[in-house]
Chains A and B, each alone.
Chain A
Amino acid sequence: MFTEFIGKRSNKVRNTVERGAVKKFAEAIGDLHPIFVDEEYGKKSRYQNNIAPPTFPRVFDYGIIEGLKLPAKGLIHGEQNYHYERPLIVGEEIQCYSEVKSYFEKTGSTGNMAFLSIKQYGEDLDGHLIFSSEQVIIIMEAVRKGMKQ
């Protein structure tokens, strides 16, 4: 039911790698390393600033893919990957957008399942890629039926 969305992209949204958000995130994953949170330590590092943890892009706004509506419940996060050209620097501004990468349905031992892959991108303001990520979401048949009602 999401086949028609393959290749569709969201608008680009400007995000800031906010210092407070990075600290809160680092704390939430139990990794309050000074490279993420201590300004002096950051200045002395090779980045001359603090950086963000690799899974921090979870917090960014990636815009809206027109018409794409995922169910609020019943989704299973199957896979996740991140690719980086370099770490994200605290304070920098980036542009983010998302794209439907693939969609297919499969019948397995637990019934019919659907796999939706959404790719997300973060670029600097000159349009150079900093990171991309891809999430595979598994949608069970019961949930898809619920959506059609």
Chain B
Amino acid sequence: MSTLAELRAGDTLNDIVLSPVSRLDLIKYAGASGDYNPIHTIDDEAKKAGLPGIIAHGMWTMGNLAKLFTPYHEEGFLQDYSIRFKGMVFLNDVITLRAELMEKNDKQLKFNVAALNQDGREVLVGTAVFAQY
């Protein structure tokens, strides 16, 4: 693994492909986050809400996406992390996490970040500003 400092604009971090989304993933996230909205864990409740089935917590995907930057904790930290939730994530979806360096300023690296489903559709997009020490 190289350092973030070596990246140039247009470079990407290595994509991370998650295991297919399972019910247990979402039950665990509900417990760990305290978000027990039943549309994320109980089929009937999701259907009552007009959904075809349970959907992942947006924050589950956003939490996962941040791990692209975890290995670089000695170099800096995520100063700003902004996300727009664009699409729903369903059970068995295979999510790919992606980050591309857009700009390099003095002590700041600005990335475009996204999570895509197996059809290549963006379910979550945003930016991450990594502040370097």
A53–B80 contact, CB under 8 A?
Answer: no
Number of residues of chain B lying within 8 A (CB) of chain A: 36
Q: Does B8 have its Cβ within 8 Å of any Cβ on chain A?
A: no
Q: Does B120 have its Cβ within 8 Å of any Cβ on chain A?
A: no
Which chain A residue has the least Cβ–Cβ distance from B133?
A46
* Residues of B12-62 contacting chain A, CB below 8 A: 18, 25, 28-29, 31-35, 37, 39, 49, 58-60, 62
Q: Does A74 have its Cβ within 8 Å of any Cβ on chain B?
A: yes
Residue among A25, A29, A53, A74 with most chain B CB within 10 A: A29
The answer to whether A53 and B85 touch (CB under 8 A), given A28-B28, A58-B34, A81-B80, is: no
Given the complex, which residues of A lie within 8 Å of B29, measured CB to CB?
Answer: 28-29
Given the complex, which residues of A lie within 8 Å of B60, measured CB to CB?
Answer: 28-29
Encode A6-21 as 1/0 by CB contact (under 8 A) with B.
Answer: 0000000000000001
CA distance A76 to B69 in the complex (A): 27
A31–B83 contact, CB under 8 A?
Answer: no
Q: Is the interface of A mostly helix, strand, loop or mixed?
A: mixed
Task: Report, as a range, how many residues of chain A touch the other chain.
Answer: 20 to 34
A81–B82 contact, CB under 8 A?
Answer: yes
Segment touching B, from A82-90, A93-101, A107-115: A82-90
Tell me the A residues contacting B by CB distance below 8 Å.
21, 24-25, 27-31, 33, 35-36, 45-47, 51, 53-55, 58-59, 73-74, 76-84, 86-87
